[in-house]
Amino acid sequence: MDLKSSAGQPAGLLRRLAALFYDLLLVIAIAVVATSAMLPLTHGDAILASTHGALAHAYHALWLLAVFAYFGWCWTRSGQTLGMRAWRIALRDTGERRLGWPGAITRFLLGAGIAFLAVLGTWYLWHSEGWLQSAGATALLMPLVLNFAWVPFDGAGRSLQDLVGGARVVRSG
């Protein structure tokens, strides 16, 4: 099947994960820029709530807003982040249009929540001391696993995040 005839078909799991990895690298770059912008205010010290109070909370808000601005702008303007563009996939709403801002906000908040639980679960898994703590940490990873594990089983190739947000990730040709 050539690329032109595959446009509009659901994007496969590996393609989605590869695009997500590319975007993760860009999120790290955004974090570096946001941190660099805040470091002059702390004289180069680590930005921690215990030492910088409200400034640390402002830093976290700035970082989250910058990441949302990247994803929201890309999803509402072209339907593609840079990672999605590289892997020739696009985000569409159920009417095959670009996602609007309400959909982008829903998708981002759900994705951020899933990512937060996965990071927390990974941290606890590395620091667990018994089987009960390991089981709890593993439970925190389950939303991430279930979100992507659903893709091959859904007839339209949607993740759970897509279902909740009313979106589809399709090949863009």
- The phi, psi pair for 90, rounded to 5°, reads -145, 155
Position with higher pLDDT, 78 vs 39: 78
3-state secondary structure 32-64: HHHHHHHHHHHCCCCCCHHHHCHHHHHHHHHHH
Q: How far apart are CA 107 and CA 110, in angstroms?
A: 5
For 128, other C-beta atoms within 10 Å of its C-beta total: 15
SS3 content of the chain, % helix, strand, coil (to 5): 70, 5, 25
Q: For residue 172, what are the CA distances in angstroms to 7, 22, 98, 123? A: 5, 17, 12, 36
pLDDT-based confidence at 161, cuts 50/70/90? very high
- Tens-digit pLDDT profile for residues 90-129: 999 888 888 999 999 999 999 999 999 999 999 999 988 8
Q: Which residues of 135-167 are buried (b: 16+ CB within 10 A; e: fewer)?
A: eebeebbebbeebbebbeeeeebbbbbbeebbb
Q: How far apart are CA 80 and CA 87, in angstroms?
A: 10
Q: Structure pTM?
A: 0.86
Position with higher pLDDT, 43 vs 3: 43
Under DSSP, the state recorded for 170 is E
* Tokens 């570096």, located at residue: 32
Contact present, 38 and 47 (Cβ < 8 Å) = yes
